[in-house]
Amino acid sequence: MTTSVSSSTSDDNVIKNVTKNVTKSVTAKQTTVVVKRHGFMRLLYTCKHTFNGLKWMCRNEAAFQQEILLFIPLTVFACMANISAPQSAILVLALLFVLFAELVNTAIEVVVDRIGLEFDTLSGLAKDIASAFVFLSMLMAAIVWWVILWA
């Protein structure tokens, strides 16, 4: 009987130690401190996160890759064309707006997928609206290019 009592006490101690370790682990995760940076360090970390986002888009998002492949030669063309500097800037900004729209579209898709991968009508609608945003940005860019170069 003594053996069973000590075994029970030993098991209880093991359970208490595991519980303490799990509680410490959960508490450590809950008490993660977010550091608010200021000044130059904030700018530095903002640039780092921006670079990480653009790098991820270039490696993983096919639509963004295709848009970059159009952006580069069209930007070179806009800068070398026989038009004024403000017109060249407007052409490049129109192209940048398409990239911006693709970034927003992908961000919405990632957040919707983060919430859940099962089919949901509102999730699909959010993705469709974000896709329409990209389409409209491309249409706007095409109109700007047409007006500046041929109108």
| pLDDT digits 0-9 by tens, 53-111 | 999 999 999 999 999 999 999 999 999 999 999 999 999 999 999 999 999 999 999 99
Look at residues 97, 99, 91, 93 and name the one whose alpha carbon lies nearest to residue 58.
Answer: 99
Give CA–CA dist 140/138, Å, rounded.
Answer: 5
**Phi, psi for 69 (deg, rounded to 5):** -65, -25
Contact in structure between 137 and 100 (CB atoms under 8 Å)? yes
Give CA–CA dist 10/130, Å, rounded.
Answer: 59
Whole-structure pTM value: 0.74
Contact in structure between 91 and 145 (CB atoms under 8 Å)? yes
Q: What is the pLDDT of residues 30-58, one digit of tens each?
A: 667 878 889 999 999 999 999 999 999 99
Name the residues annotated as catalytic.
102
Q: Is the pLDDT of residue 113 over 50?
A: yes
Q: What is the pLDDT of residue 128?
A: 97
68: phi > 0 → left, psi -120 to 50 → alpha, else beta; which? alpha
Residue 44, class by beta-carbon neighbours within 10 Å (0-12 exposed, 13-18 middle, 19+ buried)? exposed
